[in-house]
């Protein structure tokens, strides 16, 4: 850049494009293939089953943890992040990592049923629900519930910036209306 270029840019605001990522994670209780809200308080009646407090859910963007969520009193968590958009086609990874789950978070009933904590993932990009995109891209769990995580592990979603182009390529899987967490 020469001296005349800096004078042209002097006093001008440089705008860096961004996009908004919102992730809602809700502790749920899985009972014999059905899923119930943690508000049912079913876990209180299961001997030895711990609350979801010990579970940790990390949100990782391009190998950087952008948030770690805990579920004190089994409460849902919502987090929003503003991420830099790129003008060139750039591949990114968004990972969800569940850890801290152990045998105390599950229970095997006398009639052969299982009771266990499961985390429901609600993903929004620019306030548009990405649930179907998540279901389409994330590796399937053994029970084929893909926007849920019930075991320690990592799920990876591949996205691309500029984000508007990626959204256009997935327009048939974006759910309307505006988010309602």
For residues 129 and 111, give the distance between their C-alpha atoms in angstroms, rounded to a whole number: 38
Any domain includes 163: yes
Q: Is residue 5 part of a domain?
A: no
Distance CA 140, CA 148 (A): 9
Q: Is residue 180 part of a domain?
A: no
pLDDT (tens digit, 9 = 90+) per residue, 114-127? Answer: 888 899 988 888 88
For range 29-44, the mean pLDDT: 73
Q: What is the pLDDT of residues 66-108, one digit of tens each?
A: 999 999 888 999 999 999 898 888 999 999 999 999 888 888 7
> Beta partners for 128?
125
Total domain count, the chain: 1
Output the pLDDT for position 56. 95
**Residue 11 lies inside a defined structural domain of this protein:** no
**Tokens in use for 78?**
């919502």
Which single residue is written with the structure tokens 């990626």?
166
Domain that holds residue 102: 18-169
Report if residue 75 sits inside a domain. yes
Edge-to-edge strand ranges of the sheet holding 90-99: 64-70, 56-61, 90-99, 153-161
**Mean pLDDT, rounded, for 49-58:** 88
DSSP string, 141-180: PTT---SEE-SSEEEEEEEEESHHHHHHHTTTT-B-S---
Element holding 136 (H helix, E strand): helix 131-137
Strands (E), 55-89: 56-61, 64-70, 77-84
- Residue 23 has which token pair? 């992730």
Let me know if residue 51 belongs to a domain: yes
> Smallest Cα–Cα separation from 161: which of 17, 58, 64, 23?
17
Distance between start and end Cα atoms, the chain: 47
Is 6 a member of any domain?
A: no
Q: Which residue from 121, 120, 132 is spatially nearest to 167, judged by alpha carbons?
A: 132
Closest CA to 80 of 133, 122, 138: 122
177 inside domain: no
Least confident stretch, 30-39, 44-53, 156-165: 44-53
The pLDDT assigned to 5 comes to: 45
């Amino acid at each position: 850049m020469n001296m005349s270029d800096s004078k042209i840019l002097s006093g001008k605001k440089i705008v860096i494009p961004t996009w908004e990522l919102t992730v809602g994670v809700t502790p749920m209780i899985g009972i014999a293939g059905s899923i119930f809200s943690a508000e049912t308080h079913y876990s209180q009646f299961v001997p030895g089953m711990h609350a979801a407090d010990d579970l940790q859910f990390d949100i990782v963007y391009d190998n950087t943890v952008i948030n770690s969520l805990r579920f004190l009193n089994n409460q849902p968590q919502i987090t929003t992040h503003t991420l830099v958009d790129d003008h060139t086609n750039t591949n990114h990874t968004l990972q969800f990592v569940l850890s801290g789950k152990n045998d105390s978070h599950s229970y095997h009933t006398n009639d052969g049923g299982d009771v266990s904590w499961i985390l429901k993932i609600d993903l929004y990009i620019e306030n548009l629900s990405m649930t179907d995109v998540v279901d389409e891209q994330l590796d399937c769990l053994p029970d084929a519930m893909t926007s849920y995580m019930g075991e320690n592990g990592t799920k990876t979603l591949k996205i691309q910036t500029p984000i508007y182009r990626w959204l256009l390529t997935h327009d048939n899987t974006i759910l309307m209306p505006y988010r309602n967490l």
